[in-house]
Amino acid sequence: MKQKLNYTAIKKRFRVAIFGSARIKRNDARYKLIYTLAKMLAKEGIDIVTGGGPGLMDAASRGHHAGRHKKNHAYTLGLTIHLPKEQKESYHLDLKKDFHKFSNRLDNFIHLSNAVIVAPGGIGTTLELMYVWQLVQVRHSCEIPIILFGDVWKGFVKWIKRGPLKNEFLEEEDLELLYHAMTCTQAMEILKLAYEEYKKGNRNVCLNIDKYKVK
């Protein structure tokens, strides 16, 4: 039985938000990639938080559940949303909280996350990316790692450079708030460094992994 979200009990744990499409099926290579990444996070004892739904959210929840071990237990959190067309909820959530408004849900993602993985997705995933990026840019949030995961984001980066950046609607330093990882190993390199800094007491993690920064 899933427990209700208790912020007091979980606030001192390092956690990675995983955003991604609800439409991707289990036989898709991208589903398997997120499953593997979440499994790797669980083995490190790192919590995850997702939208608690199907697709890549379910891939993350299932992979995380499969990667746990008794000595280093990690938790899977789900922030579910009520939609006109109800989404099927993942069975592999330890803690959950339901929302009726996307704005409240997004704020809770920020409150709970020490790093963000942005997997392939559509409008909802892009909204989540832009919201987090905006808050970090204007210093309303700590400078947490925002990791674009997979080749699907190459076109997005090109558009940012050719449009908003070229027209001076943002600055180079804003773009450098983003990281780009193509593999689970690359993503884990960034996340493990952030986790080590967190364990030292540095919650506001500033990473200098230039080879992964978007430029």
pLDDT in tens, 74-119: 999 999 988 776 566 677 888 889 999 999 999 999 989 999 999 9
DSSP secondary structure code for residue 170 in this structure: S
Higher pLDDT, 5 or 181: 181
d(CA 42, CA 55): 19
d(CA 11, CA 6): 9
Q: What angle do CA 162, 167, 173 make, to 5 degrees?
A: 80
Task: Decide if 190 contacts 207 (C-beta within 8 A).
Answer: yes
pLDDT in tens, 160-178: 999 999 999 999 999 999 9
The pLDDT assigned to 1 comes to: 43
The pLDDT assigned to 212 comes to: 65
pLDDT mean across residues, the chain: 88
Backbone phi, then psi, for 51, in 5-degree steps? -75, -5
Inform me whether the pLDDT recorded for 155 exceeds 60: yes
User: CATH code for 3-212?
Assistant: 3.40.50.450
The pLDDT assigned to 175 comes to: 94
- Token look-up 């993985």 returns 117
The pLDDT assigned to 208 comes to: 54
Note the Cα 24 to chain centre separation in Å. 16
The pLDDT assigned to 215 comes to: 67
Kindly indicate the confidence band of residue 136, based on its pLDDT and cuts at 50, 70 and 90.
very high
Cβ neighbours around 203 below 10 Å, total: 12
Extended strands (E) in 36-177: 47-50, 76-81, 95-99, 115-118, 146-149
Counting residues of the chain whose pLDDT is more than 70, the rounded percentage is 86
State the amino acid at position 120 in one-letter form: P
